[in-house]
A and B are shown apart, each in its own frame.
Chain A
Amino acid sequence: NAGVTQTPKFQVLKTGQSMTLQCAQDMNHNSMYWYRQDPGMGLRLIYYSASEGTTDKGEVPNGYNVSRLNKREFSLRLESAAPSQTSVYFCASTLRQGPGREQFFGPGTRLTVL
């Protein structure tokens, strides 16, 4: 049981390049989330998927797209990377909606855009 896995762990991009961050969970969770964490700050939600087949914008969605490929996988795409997207990206998942369940986090992807 690997929990929430993310690839890659580190990535350096040049401005304007594109890339996809991959996330997978093996806990049969319904909901999945993408957050970003800037230095010295808390996490902010980029997009989330409450269930397979649905995606919704979070607090900071501009410059990103997501795909809920199936129940296990939720990817985040940067179409044209900008230096402002330099951050640590966390994927998370939870079993059900409602206030009661904690979110399980992946190890993070550290992205630098030059």
Chain B
Amino acid sequence: AQKITQTQPGMFVQEKEAVTLDCTYDTSDQSYGLFWYKQPSSGEMIFLIYQGSYDEQNATEGRYSLNFQKARKSANLVISASQLGDSAMYFCAMRTNNAGNMLTFGGGTRLMVKP
């Protein structure tokens, strides 16, 4: 069975500073993908970044980067230069072939950016 764990229910970060949101995963599959989504207070799910299990380099998308440590089964999201608009819930998710291609989500981390 697949499992995603986000151990930080809530975090504060000062505006313009960097922040790391933790995500660990558990799967016996060799091929899988890791995703991060942002959910602002308006409720929509916004895709941020993707990392494939065979990707040798860490994924980056603008101010978002994914610190992928395969041996430790962690896929932490790093947000650089935080902005007030980054305040939201952040969800880590995983998809494997054997899981019927569904996304398994973690419980989320609420990030609050302080001015």
**Which A residues lie at the B interface, using CB under 8 A?**
31, 33, 35, 40-45, 48, 50, 56, 58-59, 88, 90, 92, 94, 97-100, 102-105, 107-108, 110
Contacts and interface: CB of A to CB of B under 8 A. Distances in A.
Interface residues on B, range: 20 to 34
29 contacts: A33-B102, A35-B103, A40-B107, A41-B108, A42-B91, A42-B93, A42-B105, A42-B107, A42-B108, A43-B45, A43-B91, A43-B103, A43-B105, A44-B105, A48-B102, A50-B101, A58-B100, A90-B45, A97-B101, A98-B101, A99-B53, A99-B95, A102-B50, A103-B35, A103-B47, A103-B103, A105-B45, A107-B44, A108-B43
A98 B98 CA distance: 9
Nearest to B43: A108
B14 interface: no
